[in-house]
Chains A and B, each alone.
Chain A
Amino acid sequence: MIHVNNIHKSFDGTHILKGVETQFENGKTNLIIGQSGSGKTVFLKCLLGLFMPEEGSISYDGKIYKDLSPDEKRSLRQEMGMVFQGSALFDSMTVSGNVMFPLEMFTKQGKSEMQDRVDTVLKRVNLIDAHHKYPSEISGGMQKRVAIARAIVMNPKYLFCDEPNSGLDPRTSIIIDNLIKEITEEYNITTVINTHDMNSVMQIGEKIIFLKNGLKEWEGSKHEIFKTDNKAVTDFVYSSDLFKKVRQMYIEERN
């Protein structure tokens, strides 16, 4: 479980996060939503330890990040998997090389043992046939799946995804969403996803946090989001006609 306690973060005098407080449970897909500039990416980077909050703290299963020694921080980071918005695959390595990278860096496993693990996760994301290809030779959706495979190869406790659906067609987005949700449940990972995609919210959002101007404006489940009267949330979530109709249908069905 990740516990976020009143974190503040500023850049060049601009206050980005103004006291965010929440918690993310194991085995659940937690979504952070909000308009561009609401502080979602800064919040995610704070969760990853890439940015240090000026105030407040973040604890991972009771371990407060800021109180850890540099070595303890590095060990904790090895328990984190991250899927970046642009996949962030290493261009000079093949799909297999990218997935094997964390194993080569941090384990003492033999080559065949590592290869077995890589094959297992590549099969899990349905990419075993593309193991010899370079990132530039595969599609955006496949790159995202490689990034997921790389993120889970070390059996992480925490999985973070920054807009995993950006640039993908709706069908591929659903595949990626479902894959993340299945992996979260299968490995009992604490997953935090930063997204703009309302389809993801409706599909996999077990817990949703809505950020506005660096503050947590609302939090709840995908079912609760239909019932909320919070204007900022409804303006954001139901900005398209399609979702307005979906909400209307949901309310009518309930009544």
Chain B
Amino acid sequence: MNYLASIGSYAIMIKEVFKKPTKWSIMKSLILKEIDELIYGSLGILIFISFFIGGVVAIQTALNITSELIPKNLVGFATRQSIILEFAPTFCSIIMAGKVGSYITSSIGTMRVTEQIDALEVMGVNALNYLVFPKIIALMLYPFIIAIAMYVGIFGGWFAGVFGGFSTSADFIEGVQLDFIPFHITYSFLKTMVFAFVLATIPSYHGFYMKGGALEVGKASTTSFVWTSVVIIIINYILTQLLLG
């Protein structure tokens, strides 16, 4: 019953986010601030992780090719498929649930604890629109960093494959170009857009409706990370079944 009640109040929250918009002149600066915080601020960690994961995928694939019958370009092919289909959209979103999600929950939760949200409401401000809407809009740019993660991940695979002596540059690039299906990119970005919405709203929900003090802010951040990850994984399964199944 508790889960149902939470789903219900989450739906009500989403409805409230789009009601009574904040003045555009203020909203514009809030959106730019969130883009800086959520998108630009996450670029470094996602580039770092993508590069090394791409490298590990290439090495693992190369080490598991034991038969002479398997073409050498499989390293590039497997790296591309892993990065584009799952690593960049899904794995990066789980990382973002930890980085961005806990930031959102703790910042909104702290505002709740220190009565800043009450202050907004007393002034007649739609606090949900003021706090959550800019985050949703900022995270609509999330596919751009996922696109960068895809490029960097594949580059990491090439780097590790070629300089580690597991593949030649020609074989790797041939594998990357082999049997390329453009719809896989569409599928990946569709997932990313849905995950972006989840990343903006579930942590906001946990922060906005939290009760208690500093300890509860920490607990809310942890709960928010767990639920954001769970929802991302479930949606990933459903979208994969619907779009590729």
Contacts and interface: CB of A to CB of B under 8 A. Distances in A.
A77 B124 contact: yes
A249 interface: no
Interface of A: 48-50, 73-75, 77-78, 80, 82, 84-86, 88-91, 101-102, 104-106, 160
A113 to B, nearest CB: 15
A124 B23 CA distance: 28
Q: Which of A86, A88, A89, A101 has the most CB of B within 10 A?
A: A88
A89 B116 CA distance: 7
Given A50-B122, A77-B122, A78-B124, A88 B26 contact: no
Contacts of A105: 22-23, 26, 123, 125
Interface residues of B, number: 15
A82 B125 contact: no
B36 interface: no
Interface of B: 20, 22-23, 25-26, 114-116, 118-119, 121-125
Given A84-B115, A105-B22, A105-B26, 19 more contacts: A49-B122, A50-B122, A77-B121, A77-B122, A77-B124, A78-B123, A80-B122, A85-B115, A86-B114, A88-B114, A88-B116, A88-B119, A89-B116, A90-B116, A102-B123, A104-B23, A105-B23, A105-B123, A105-B125
Contacts of A102: 123
16 contacts: A50-B118, A50-B121, A50-B122, A74-B124, A77-B123, A77-B124, A82-B118, A85-B115, A86-B114, A86-B115, A88-B114, A88-B115, A102-B123, A105-B26, A106-B123, A160-B122
Nearest to B116: A88
A78 B116 CA distance: 16
A25 B123 CA distance: 22
Contacts of A49: 122
Contacts of A82: 118-119, 122
